[in-house]
Structure 1
């Protein structure tokens, strides 16, 4: 579970759609590297809140539904969301301009992470690495929940570090022109990743 959370955190940090591009643009507009770092904090927090919301739903579900059922439902949700993103990867929520405060950035990040299924993507790893993997119900909710929230914290910290590194490199060395010439489509990769993880999670939920 821990390695998966770190890898997903790094991938989210690399993806400009998760927020570092927004922070970088604000920094360039105000000609301040400090603005970039300050903008990344509420972005990371909004992302974490979106993931925690999914974790809470999973923990609540485990109190009433067997683990295997939650795993299969999560896998099917991942597949459905993956197919949706595969044919709509070019669409993004647009509701805010470039003059924003910390609260706006936090809410924007929460909506973006939710729209991209960031929390949903982590459910198979969270379920597979928690105490719930050895129980049919949520009887061990306290240690299981503590482990899940620690994993979310590790995921968020990794994402923040990667976002900061990428934004700094682009700001100091490369400039925004690199995005037009050589940046890859992370949204399309994300859609494929959702389908792969969903398929694996569904197969593992039926494994003995």
Structure 2
């Protein structure tokens, strides 16, 4: 049972993330309500999952490989990526086009940025360390085996987050449909 606890923590944190509006259920619900199709809300979960999993996978890989990150370098890289995205996104567009609803790529990028900003992967570090290190010393674990465990944890975390996000987004779509049909 002791080796099950890190997996339960990873899944539980995923479920908690699914309840947080910043992780995308409000966007998925908005897509469903706007199109009047609950299926559209569920299809919006794919780019949300891709962005969230990519963010968490970066941290999981860092834990698995024991990478130490220089704070200044990370800040410069993150700032450069934000500036690059802004320049690419805004170049040659009118302000009206900038306000257009985001597509799947925009939603995936938003999900990645939100998950990274609120530290989704960093919250998993206390659960990832026992999974990646186990009962052996750090020298005895192959980096590839540790990475596979970390990526499995990312999968469990993302699946739990998506399950809860789907329930909330579907519930919002269903609730708004009932409210609008009764008025």
Q: Normalization by structure 1: what TM-score?
A: 0.63
Residue 188 (structure 1) aligns with = none
Alpha-carbon distance between aligned partners in 2 of 1:138 and 1:112, rounded to the nearest angstrom: 35
Structure 2 portions without partners, runs of 5+:
1-5, 70-88, 90-97
Residue 137 (structure 2) aligns with = 135
Which of 28, 34, 45 is residue 33 of structure 2 equivalent to? 28
**TM-superposition CA deviations, 1:25-82 (whole Å, max 9, x none):** 12212222121011111101110000001112223335xx7xxxx9xxxxxxxxxxxx
Taking structure 1 as reference, are residues 57 and 174 closer, same or farther at Cα in structure 2, changes over 3 Å only?
Answer: same
Which of 140, 146, 150 is residue 144 of structure 1 equivalent to? 146
Deviating 4+ runs (over 3 angstroms): 95-98, 136-139
Q: Summarize the alignment of residues 54-203 of structure 1 with structure 2, pairs less than 5 Å apart.
A: 54-61=59-66, 97=99, 99-131=101-133, 134-137=136-139, 139-173=141-175
Which piece of structure 1 moves more, 128-137 or 108-117?
128-137
SS of residue matched to 1:50: helix
Deviation, 1:132, is: 5.2
Deviation, 1:150, is: 0.7
Alpha-carbon distance between aligned partners in 1 of 2:125 and 2:100, rounded to the nearest angstrom: 32
Contact 1:8 1:155 in 2 (8 A): yes
Residue 83 (structure 2) aligns with = none
Taking structure 1 as reference, are residues 97 and 3 closer, same or farther at Cα in structure 2, changes over 3 Å only?
Answer: farther
Taking structure 1 as reference, are residues 172 and 36 closer, same or farther at Cα in structure 2, changes over 3 Å only?
Answer: same
Deviation, 1:143, is: 1.7
Taking structure 1 as reference, are residues 61 and 97 closer, same or farther at Cα in structure 2, changes over 3 Å only?
Answer: farther
Structure 1 portions without partners, runs of 5+:
71-94, 178-208
Residue 94 (structure 2) aligns with = none
Q: Normalization by structure 2: what TM-score?
A: 0.71
Taking structure 1 as reference, are residues 32 and 151 closer, same or farther at Cα in structure 2, changes over 3 Å only?
Answer: same
Deviation, 1:149, is: 0.7
Residue 47 (structure 1) aligns with = 52
SS of residue matched to 1:130: helix
Structure number with greater Rg is: 2
Alpha-carbon distance between aligned partners in 2 of 1:138 and 1:29, rounded to the nearest angstrom: 53
